[in-house]
């Protein structure tokens, strides 16, 4: 094939989701090598890394803090390097769940009622009924996520979530169907519905084989499908996303979509949700990885 590239894969990193990132990166590296590219793997465990000479493009397979909050993107911008995915500013906004919600509200994208808490001594919010969801404002992948089913569990949930950040987001817990919408090249992919066999789609159910069922394309009528995809795309645009992302959307029984968050560097293991959605749109795993690289190259006016 034409246009073999020198690709540097950034994976691992110092964040709480290091293990998942190592798996994502290894899978992408294998796929890109199968297409004939040279792939060098770099694990930025601290700030002392340098890019290998001759890197054409950097593939970001980092998740969570450092990789998804705009830090590594700023560093790559300073180095003048081309990299996959969202830029530094949209990464920073999307990683901050409160900033994301504010952008969604401004753009009239439906999102859950919320408040921000920074102390475990904060009393139960007036006029709110359980169940509530409590999560760190700046963490990814369900890290520190707590569900409060009873008022008496409130303080404990706050204390747990505040271990991961100085502020936590408190939201009404949306009852309904859990979906996620991949965005690729500014277009929504087929919807994935996520059904944990027990409990909620927490870190354990997300990363333990067999704990969750996935349906793609999800079973919604065409009008509802369009409504969910349009809410997801609205959130992606509201945070200034580029190239690709994955947007988590709850769908109330009434049919109203409610955006939960925007993941700017979604998981890329072979069983991750974005590859599932791409497969339903006719792109196999290696083609998806190539497409992500091509989108980055296009910014430089280069075509692979």
Which of the residues are catalytic? 17, 141, 207, 246, 248, 261, 263, 267
Can you say how many angstroms the Cα of residue 123 is from the centroid of all Cα atoms in its chain? 31
Can you say how many angstroms the Cα of residue 271 is from the centroid of all Cα atoms in its chain? 15
Between the CA of residue 95 and those of 112, 170, 245, 260, 280, what are the distances in Å? 17, 16, 12, 12, 27
Q: Please tell me the distance from the alpha carbon of residue 110 to that of residue 299, in angstroms, as a whole number.
A: 31
Between the CA of residue 281 and those of 27, 108, 180, 239, 284, what are the distances in Å? 20, 28, 14, 24, 9
Tokens of 201: 């789609």
DSSP 8-state symbol, 190? P
Q: Please tell me the distance from the alpha carbon of residue 281 to that of residue 136, in angstroms, as a whole number.
A: 33
**Residue corresponding to tokens 């998942």:** 20
Q: Please tell me the distance from the alpha carbon of residue 65 to that of residue 232, in angstroms, as a whole number.
A: 23
- Output 147-153 pairs: Cβ under 8 A, ≥24 positions apart: 147/173, 147/200, 151/124
SS3 203: helix
**Residue corresponding to tokens 């936590």:** 168
By residue count, the chain amounts to 304
């Amino acid at each position: 094939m034409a246009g073999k590239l020198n690709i540097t894969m950034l994976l691992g990193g110092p964040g709480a989701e290091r293990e998942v990132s190592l798996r994502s990166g290894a899978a992408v590296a294998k796929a890109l090598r199968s297409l004939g590219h040279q792939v060098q793997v770099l694990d930025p465990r601290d700030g002392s890394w340098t890019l290998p000479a001759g890197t054409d493009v950097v593939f970001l397979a980092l998740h969570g803090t450092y990789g998804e909050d705009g830090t590594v993107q700023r560093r790559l911008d300073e180095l003048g390097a081309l990299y996959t995915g969202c830029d530094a500013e949209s990464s920073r906004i999307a990683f901050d769940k409160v900033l994301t919600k504010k952008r969604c509200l401004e753009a009239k994208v439906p999102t859950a009622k919320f408040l921000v808490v920074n102390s475990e001594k904060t009393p139960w919010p007036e006029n709110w009924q359980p169940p509530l969801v409590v999560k760190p404002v700046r963490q990814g992948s369900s890290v520190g996520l707590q569900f409060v089913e009873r008022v008496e569990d409130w303080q404990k949930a706050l204390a747990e979530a505040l271990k991961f950040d100085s502020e936590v987001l408190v939201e009404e817990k949306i009852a309904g169907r859990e979906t996620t919408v991949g965005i690729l090249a500014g277009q929504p992919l087929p919807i994935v519905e996520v059904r944990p066999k027990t409990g909620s789609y927490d870190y354990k159910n997300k990363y333990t084989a067999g704990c969750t069922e996935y349906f793609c394309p999800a079973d919604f009528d065409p009008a509802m499908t369009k409504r969910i995809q349009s809410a997801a795309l609205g959130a992606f645009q509201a945070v200034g996303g580029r190239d690709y992302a994955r947007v988590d959307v709850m769908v109330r029984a009434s049919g109203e979509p409610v955006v939960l968050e925007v993941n700017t560097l979604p998981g890329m293991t072979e069983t991750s949700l974005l590859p599932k959605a791409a497969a339903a749109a006719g792109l196999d795993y290696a083609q998806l990885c190539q497409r992500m690289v091509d989108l980055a190259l296009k910014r430089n006016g280069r075509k692979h």
